[in-house]
Amino acid sequence: MQRDGSRATMEATERSLAYLHGISVERVKWLGGKRAGSLRERGIDSVADLLLLVPRKHIDRSQVMPLDQVEVGVETTVIGQVRRVNVRRLRRRMVIVEAVVGTDTGSITAVWFNQQYQARRLERGIEVALSGKMERYRGRLQLNSPAVDILARGRGNLAVGRVVPVYRAMGDATPTYLRMGVHNALMRSRPITDPLPLDLRQRLDLTDRDTAIASVHFPDSIQQIRPARRRLVFDEFFRLEVALAMTKRHKTETSVGIPHLLDPETEMVERFVRGLPYRLTGAQRRVIDEIKQDLGSRWPMHRLLQGEVGSGKTVVAVATVLTGVQGGFQAAVMAPTEVLAEQHYEGIAGLLAEAGMVSPIAGPFSLFDGVDGGADGPRVSIALLTGNRAEASIRPRGKTNRRELLHWIAGGEVDIVIGTHALIQEGVRFARLGVAVVDEQHRFGVHQRVQLKDKAEGVDPDLLIMTATPIPRTLSMTLYGDLDVSEIDEMPPGRKPVRTWATSMEGRGMDRVEQTIRDEVGGGRQAFVVCPLVEGSRQVEAASAVAEHERLAGVFPEMRIGLLHGQMAPRRKEEVMEAFRSGGLDVLVATTVIEVGIDVPNATVMVIRDADRFGLSQLHQLRGRVGRGSYPGQCILLADPATKDGVERIEAMVRLSDGFRLAEEDLRIRGHGTVFGARQSGFSDLRIADILRDRKELASARREAFALVRRDPTLESHPAIRDEVRVLLGDAVEWLFRS
Ligand code: ADP
Ligand code: MG
């Protein structure tokens, strides 16, 4: 009794997916040797991987019809012997393979067009199963391009009399061998244990795992496939979300946060907000409150702030930073490009100066000239640190050197440091970093966000990640699953929508473009002209901008036209940007250095050359550079797309203005695997689930996973789930389970 009992438990654990993950695919009958090699190349290493390899499609061969009973126009499977094979060549490289197959009740012709390999497979005398729509041609029954299975003796039963799975060929592992291999693996692995508690399965109406895995391959009927797949999709999301929930819990538990001071007496934030030239939108207020809650708590904040381009994330960043500073901590703001870091520095310093909050001003520091020097109220010092520039409000412009600035940061004399990834480099030390803001997160990897946090010793600074990349909501849930999310879902009032239109770069379209620029500049507005991306060559990219600049100078002799590209000296770039911002230039010819964040409300025209070469989110970012003030903007896409994707992207841009809708469209055009790589998410790509199509499953998997981890943080009472997450997700989550 005792022995039997313990053996039963052994077997139960042995048949978990985690256990099957430990058995090499090589050991599956039919799939050894070279075939295993082909499978390995595609990431199918274990029996578990094989069992989770969902067939490309199924053919319903549950009913094989005698020929005298088949109906024309109906999907039919016929079994018989190849009597004759005939290959005919027609003009224009057309090849027709024709086979006559004899059955017990008569013969039938099968025809394939341009599938010459069929002739090589179909030898006279072999047994085959043919499936396709029955037709009648010149009085005879015929199948056009039917699916074929060769029924070798002894293994033919897999291909007939049932719903038959069809796998994608993987090198030496052909669809037929895969079918036999999977069948064999199933026979030896079943019953496969289910790690999910019964009540959860019942509540969500999920098929049990054994049935799901078996019938996603060999269903009893076509109707069984859908619920089976749904279960596997749920499982795939669930593993990921359990890992995310545990990551989040782990971070909260092991970190020592700063309960920032929210004392209204010293409220810098209110003072700053009062000094703004506009009123905050309801969404900005709400988001600032959410952030304040986090900052006041003793848990470090990990928050993602999503907001459409131009929704006003910068002031939210300033409010966040000031909340940290008012309690005596330092703050960092990291931007992905030098131009953007500089703009943030000038912009934020300008807003703070406007509110009389910048301190202490020494010397002829142009940015703060003439700003009221009223002595009351708290003040902050602010600095810029990029690869090329170091500057601080506590020193006159141009007099700060890098060493000095690093010294001030380390000594705590600078309150707010704005910069590029130079901020996370060696040698930058903060005295007491309390808050970090990362702007346009999509440009950074997860890794860099972690490094920024490491700049604070002993404590975990609060972290706000801002993004305007329209990340589809569903995708951000998986990617940033360990973050809380706030969203600015309201634009500042008075914005006019940007009208988007596309035209060819040749012929009359260009006249209209030039006229548009003339009209807008004539009315006192400004225009951007963006030159195409040149893959892998900044030099060529710059050269095309230089050429366009020259050309436009010829077209518009009366205008002041500036040039901005990545190869220019930093000082020069800054001057050009400043000239454009202050209205000293009418047109700015630029490369994509202006893609993110640039804020010049007087600019109303965005012309993008070779627009089809840009990705959708990039185009959307570029479009977001206009229509930021109270004048309506126009975005003109110059393109002669050569690819289908290119055409689709241009059409999507013209049709859609909502960034989230566009991101989903992007996902549809490109497929979700390529939007964010595994590097970003930290997990390998999903194999079965599709983030868009299966969004409902994703939502429920996430809800259940987080609830489970809340109840059972280390999954002590759910060892099967624990093992599965650890084993199937592998290295990416291994650290979570180290004790
Ligand atoms: P993004 O979210 O793209 O970073 P910004 O913070 O650059 O947007 O803001 C875009 C523009 O909107 C800026 O010119 C900013 O001054 C302006 N702005 C921000 N908030 C408001 C508001 N509540 N009312 C009016 N204008 C605003
Ligand atoms: Mg921004």
Who contacts 91 (Cβ-Cβ below 8 Å, separation ≥6)? Answer: none
Q: State which of 276, 278, 441 you would mutate to test the pocket of ligand 1, scoring each by most atoms of that ligand within 8 A of its C-beta.
A: 278
CA separation for the pair 102, 80 (Å, rounded): 5
Q: Which atom of ligand 1 is nearest to the CA of 439?
A: 4
Any residues with CB less than 8 A from the CB of 202 and at least 6 apart, and which?
A: none
**In a mutational test of the pocket of ligand 1, which residue from 279, 285, 308, 314 has the highest number of ligand atoms less than 8 Å from its CB?**
314
The ligand that comes nearest to the alpha carbon of residue 308 is 1
CB 250 within 8 A of CB 256: no
- The atom number, within ligand 1, closest to the CA of 488 reads 2
Nearest alpha carbon, ligand 1 atom 9: 312
Name every residue whose Cβ is closer than 8 Å to that of residue 134 and which is 6 or more positions away in sequence: 70, 71, 72, 73, 74, 75, 76, 141, 142, 143
Ligand found nearest the CA of 277: 1
Dist. CA 601 → ligand 1 center (Å): 9
| Residue 650 predicted with pLDDT over 90 | yes
| Percentage of the residues of the chain whose pLDDT score is greater than 70 | 84
Task: Write the CA distances from 687 to 229, 468, 516, 690, 734, integer angstroms.
Answer: 12, 28, 48, 8, 20
pLDDT band at 375 (very low <50, low <70, confident <90, very high): very low
Distance separating the N- and C-terminal Cα atoms of the chain: 36
What gap in Å lies between CA 441 and CA 337, rounded to an integer?
11
| Ligand with minimal distance to 340 CA | 2
User: 84 CA to middle of ligand 1, Å?
Assistant: 75
Cα 595 to ligand 1 centroid, rounded to whole Å: 16
**How far, in Å, from the CA of 392 to the mean position of ligand 1?**
24
Cβ atoms of 440 and 307 closer than 8 Å: no
Rounded mean pLDDT, 598-602: 85
> 3-state class of 9 per DSSP?
helix
Q: Which residues contact 702 (CB under 8 A, 6 or more apart)?
A: 237, 241, 244, 477, 481
Lowest mean pLDDT among 391-405, 580-594, 705-719: 391-405
Q: What is the pLDDT of residue 595?
A: 59
pLDDT, one tens digit per residue, over 473-513 is 556 555 566 678 888 988 888 777 899 999 998 878 889 99
pLDDT of residue 451: 63
Report DSSP state, residue 24. Answer: B
CB atoms near residue 125 (< 10 Å): 8
311 CA closest ligand 1 atom index: 2
Q: 436 CA distance to ligand 1 centroid (A)?
A: 20
The answer on pLDDT for 449 being more than 70 is no
Q: How far apart are CA 382 and CA 359, in angstroms?
A: 8
Q: Which residue lies with its CA nearest to atom 23 of ligand 1?
A: 280
pLDDT at position 681 over 80: no
pLDDT confidence band for 618 (50 / 70 / 90):
confident
Q: How far does the centroid of ligand 1 lie from the alpha carbon of residue 588, in Å?
A: 21
Residue 195 has pLDDT above 70, yes or no: yes
| Pocket-forming residues, ligand 1, beta carbon under 6 Å | 278-281, 284, 307, 309-315, 468, 492, 597, 599, 601, 628
pLDDT of residue 680 exceeding 70? no
621's CB contacts (< 8 A; 6+ apart) are 309, 468, 469, 595, 596
CA-nearest residue for atom 27, ligand 1, is 492
Give SS3 for 372: coil
Determine the residue of 354, 443, 623, 628 to mutate for testing ligand 1's pocket, defined as the one with the most ligand atoms within 8 A of the Cβ atom.
628
Is the separation of the CB atoms in 420 and 338 below 8 Å?
A: yes
CB distance 77 to 156 below 8 Å: no
Tokens describing residue 433: 């970093």
CB 421 within 8 A of CB 455: no
Note the ligand closest to the C-alpha atom of 600.
Answer: 1
Q: What is the pLDDT of residue 480?
A: 60
The rounded distance, in Å, linking the Cα atoms of 322 and 216 is: 55
Closest CA to 132 of 155, 108, 114, 115: 108
Q: What are phi and psi of 304, to 5 degrees?
A: -100, 125
pLDDT at position 112 over 60: yes
Atom of ligand 1 nearest to the CA of 317: 6
Q: How far apart are CA 232 and CA 479, in angstroms?
A: 20
Atom of ligand 1 nearest to the CA of 628: 11
- Going by pLDDT thresholds of 50, 70 and 90, the confidence category of residue 2 is very low
User: If you measure from the C-alpha of residue 535 to the centroid of ligand 2, how many angstroms do you get, rounded to a whole number?
Assistant: 25
Residue matched to tokens 């808050």? 435
Determine the distance separating the centroid of ligand 1 and the alpha carbon of 456, expressed in angstroms. Answer: 30
How far apart CA 73 and CA 77 sit, in angstroms, is 12
Q: What's the confidence (pLDDT) of residue 1?
A: 37
* Å from CA of 314 to ligand 1 middle: 7
Q: What is the mean pLDDT of residues 158-175?
A: 87
Q: pLDDT-based confidence at 694, cuts 50/70/90?
A: confident
Round to whole Å and give the CA distance between 98 and 84. Answer: 8
Q: DSSP H helical segments within 442-497, as ranges?
A: 446-453, 473-479
Pairing of strands 95-103, 106-113: antiparallel
C-alpha span between 616 and 623 (Å, rounded): 10
What the block records as the tokens of 631 is 């004048």
| Range list of β-strands (E), 446-548 | 462-467, 484-488, 499-503, 526-530
Burial of residue 253 (CB within 10 Å: 0-12, 13-18, 19+) is exposed
Residue of 315, 464, 466 with the most ligand 1 atoms within 8 Å of its CB, for mutation: 315
CA of 536 to the centre of ligand 2 (A): 26
d(CA 71, CA 138): 16
Residue 435 CA to ligand 1 centre (angstroms): 22
Q: Render pLDDT for 247-275 as a digit per residue (tens, 0 to 9).
A: 888 877 777 888 888 876 668 888 899 88
From the CA of 601, the nearest ligand is: 1
Residue 506 Cα to ligand 1 middle (Å): 36
Pocket test for ligand 1, best of 274, 286, 311 (most atoms within 8 A of CB): 311
In this prediction, residue 89 carries a pLDDT of: 87
- Number of C-beta neighbours around residue 515 at 10 A: 10
